[in-house]
Amino acid sequence: MIQTTFPDRAVMAELLAKMLWEIKAVHFNAAQPYKLSSGMASPVYIDCRKLLSFPRIRSTVMDFAASTLLRDAGFEQFDCIAGGETAGIPFAALLADRLGLPMVYVRKQPKGHGRNAQIEGNMPEGSRVLVIEDLTTAGGSMFKFIDAVRAAGGIVDHGIALFFYGIFGEQRFADGKVRLHHIATWRNVLAVAKEQKLFDDKTLSEVEAFLDAPLAWSGRNGGVSELSL
């Protein structure tokens, strides 16, 4: 089914943030920061994969994603949806079904045997491809998939992350000539935590300090203070 209703952006962002809290996909811990793959220390961690285990939430989030894309990118802008290994693959399948489009997936590396393929599925050269991930911080991992699609002859002008950290801006996407679409950010998640008083004031203030200056916070708490975007 193709989604054709267009909820208010702020409503979609707030509802996704509430869903993530409801399914316990959000974690705040300023006392024992999480170490991210980039080497950053962070008082926040999110597991968007959990969305897949809740059918009503999963369906609503796909409605939001379809609505965001149709309104902001257009109705006939894509020939194919590509999911990045591994978390992007199920969301690509769900979104492709919503939009009535073919779907492929992109390996992190060519598989090293057989056809040595990195793109799995049918993607004719010149296809206009939307790349989807469950979340992105500054775009580094998403561009590994975007670069692979482009190298295989696909055209990538748009990417979508269901959840965007929103703390480093979108410079990587501007440099790579990709428009990033997203539904919610950490600011939306923090707003729900404040409204519902889910954590004590000290934890909430530490999380806000991280969102305001993530690398400075990381450096003060045992992580890297510089990041290659």
68 is in an annotated binding site: no
- Say if residues 192 and 18 touch (Cβ distance below 8 Å): yes
- Say what the pLDDT of residue 112 is: 60
Give residue for tokens 């990041």.
Answer: 227
In a domain, 4, yes or no: no
CATH of residue 108: 3.40.50.2020
- Say what the pLDDT of residue 1 is: 57
Question: Which three-class secondary structure state does DSSP give residue 103?
Answer: strand
In a domain, 170, yes or no: yes
Q: What is the CA radius of gyration of the chain?
A: 18
- Say what the pLDDT of residue 114 is: 45
135 is in an annotated binding site: yes
- Say what the pLDDT of residue 38 is: 78
140 is in an annotated binding site: yes
In a domain, 44, yes or no: yes
In a domain, 227, yes or no: no
In a domain, 28, yes or no: yes
d(CA 167, CA 62): 24
pTM: 0.92
Distances (CA, A) of 49 to 25, 26, 139, 162, 193: 8, 11, 18, 11, 20
63 is in an annotated binding site: no
In a domain, 110, yes or no: yes
136 is in an annotated binding site: yes
Average pLDDT by consecutive 10-residue portion of the chain (229 residues)?
81 98 96 87 95 97 96 96 95 96 94 69 97 91 95 97 90 94 97 95 94 94 81
Give helix then strand counts, H and E, for the chain. 8, 10
In a domain, 229, yes or no: no
133 is in an annotated binding site: yes
111 is in an annotated binding site: yes
134 is in an annotated binding site: yes
- Say if residues 177 and 157 touch (Cβ distance below 8 Å): yes
Range of the domain at 144: 9-220
In a domain, 228, yes or no: no
Number of domains into which the chain is organized: 1
- Say what the pLDDT of residue 11 is: 97
Distances (CA, A) of 3 to 60, 70, 82, 97, 205: 10, 9, 19, 10, 38
